[in-house]
Amino acid sequence: MSLAGLLWLSVFPLLALPGAPLLAHPAYAGIPRLARAVLAGAAGAALVSVTMTILALLGIPWSLPAVLAAAIALGFGMRGMVESSGPRRSPGSRVRGGRLPALIASTAVAAAFLATAAGSASSPDLLFFWGAKAQRFALARTVDAAYLGDPSLAYMHAYYPPLVTNLYALASIAAGRISWTGATFLFPLLLTALAAALPGVLRAGAPERRTSAAAAASALAVAAIAVIGMEADVGGNGEMPLLLFETASIALLLSPLTESPAGQLLAGWMLAGAVTTKIEGLPFALTAIAAFVWIRRRSIRFGPALLRLGLPAAASLLLWFAFGARTHLFRGYSGEGALLAPHPEHLGVALRAIGSALASTGHSLPYLIPLVCLLVAARRLGRDAAIPLLTAAGLSVFLLFTYLDRPGDPSQWIAWSAPRVFSPLPVLFALSAARLREDASGG
């Protein structure tokens, strides 16, 4: 990789700086340090993207120091929203019997690195969508409204959430150009971060006997993402950032930490990252929040919890839609993702095409193995396991109706996109299998 590529990638660790004030709060002491560092980077990414949207809305050009300084200030503001009286749990205990899960996760990450280095995991969408927009944003040092409004470039979908293109543009400003190689390597690098953080998040504040299940579920989720990512060519597109935010948010919602305001606020920023990464992040977030407040209704305060979980995502999207309205580019989502006139006559065709597309991805193993593990653990699952399962159901319904929202045969579109957009499902199955009942989690 060239020096410019390394410089381009070096911007991404800096994203932890805006998230650090929040994650350094004592209320998050129950999360192991490595997991906290990764969560700081994820929260920081969401804060940086929101900051860049605000600057674009105000007409202020982007620069790395200005964006980071403003985002850090926003991070300190978020820290001020955390109640000092929140519960402080000690970090999760060491995982017993965690060597095999660690080996599985490490092997999956290594395979993802090798596939990316060989060029077999690179996404064509990087060249024609994500990277193309990021280059223009970097040159303009803002969201290039003239470019997005060009009628000949309608396939750029001006309304599409801005997080990935914003961050790519910021890295390109710092490096002097976009690094196509660096962008593709974000797939294995973010997968590494997820593999390092997920076990700690899942076992934070949980009984010691749950730690083995947390390690196994984490390894299963990481391996599924690795295989699907390699098979579906996600290197450089929005899938891996979306999966990072979605997986982190569900892991937090499953944790006892989200019975506190601090945990709810952190999960809210993970969900904000999801909704500003891709359109399907919005139904994911809505379903996850609804499932959480229903399942935990007896241990949380409904109104405040709903506000902390939903406000970061709502504010992030409203700022983006405000930019679209000011520039007369868009006022909300349109086209893909808008359930305007579904065609139920294509339901059978769509279901068969989805089944065929998922079965052809890595011989369907990344979907089947987590599902089998979930079924094996079904009788021992705790009530919280319904949170990821309901989220998976809600996301699946949304994706199916999206495919039916076009008058033509959706088979070709499904064959091209289904392995990517359905990739959260095996992760959600794996996370569900980790939540065993208190009286059934031993051994």
Supply the pLDDT for residue 345.
86
Q: What is the largest CA-CA distance in the chain?
A: 61
Query: Residue 38 CB: number of other CB atoms within 10 A?
Result: 27
406: left (phi over 0), alpha (psi -120 to 50) or beta: beta
Which tokens belong to 51?
A: 């900051």
**CA–CA gap between residue 59 and residue 38 (Å, rounded):** 31
Residue 364's pLDDT is 85
Long-range interactions of 354-361: CB distance < 8 A, separation 24+: 354/400, 354/403, 354/414, 354/418, 354/422, 356/415, 357/414, 357/415, 357/418, 357/419, 358/418, 358/419, 358/422, 360/419, 361/227, 361/228, 361/231, 361/232, 361/419
pLDDT in tens, 11-37: 999 999 999 999 999 999 989 999 999
Q: Distance (Å, rounded) from C-alpha 389 to C-alpha 433?
A: 10
Nearest to 31, CA basis, from 237, 319, 312, 252: 252
What is the pLDDT confidence band of residue 81, given thresholds at 50, 70 and 90?
confident
User: How many angstroms separate the CA atoms of 122 and 216, rounded?
Assistant: 28
Number of H helices, E strands in the chain: 20, 0
Q: What percent of the chain has pLDDT over 90?
A: 72
Residue 237 contacts residue 199 (beta carbons within 8 Å): no
Q: Is the pLDDT of residue 441 over 50?
A: no
For 235, phi then psi, to 5°, come to -60, 115
Residue 421: pLDDT over 90 = yes
Closest alpha carbon to 237 in 10, 13, 420: 420
pLDDT of residue 380: 84
Rounded to an integer, the average pLDDT of 41-53 is: 98
Residue 157 has pLDDT above 60, yes or no: yes
Report the pLDDT value the prediction gives residue 360, as an integer from 0 to 100: 79
pLDDT category of residue 124 using cuts at 50, 70 and 90: confident
Q: Of the ranges 212-221, 352-361, 384-393, which is most confident?
A: 384-393
Residue 330 has pLDDT above 80, yes or no: yes
pLDDT at 443: 32
Tell me: the pLDDT tens digits for 269-295? Answer: 999 999 999 999 999 999 999 999 999
- Identify which has the larger pLDDT, 13 or 94: 13
Confidence of residue 439 (pLDDT cuts 50, 70, 90): very low
Q: What is the pLDDT of residues 133-154, one digit of tens each?
A: 999 999 999 999 999 999 999 8
Task: In whole angstroms, give the CA distance from residue 160 to residue 10.
Answer: 26
**Distance separating alpha carbons of residues 314 and 325, to the nearest angstrom:** 16
Percent helix, percent strand, percent coil in the chain, to nearest 5: 75, 0, 25
| Mean local confidence (pLDDT), 37-49 | 98
Mean pLDDT of 76-101: 66
Report the percent of the chain where pLDDT is more than 70. 90
At residue 93, the 3 state secondary structure works out as coil
Can you give the pLDDT at residue 435? 78
Average pLDDT, the chain: 90
Residue in this structure with the two tokens 């359930």, named with its chain if needed? 339
Please give the pLDDT value at position 207. Answer: 58
Three-class SS of residue 436? strand
Q: What would the pLDDT profile of 181-237 be if each residue is shown by its tens digit?
A: 999 999 999 999 999 999 999 987 665 555 788 899 999 999 999 999 999 889 999
pLDDT band at 336; cut points 50, 70, 90: very low
pLDDT value for 235: 92
| Structure tokens belonging to residue 180 | 């196509």
Bigger pLDDT: 7 or 436?
7
pLDDT at 191: 98
pLDDT of 424 above 90 = yes
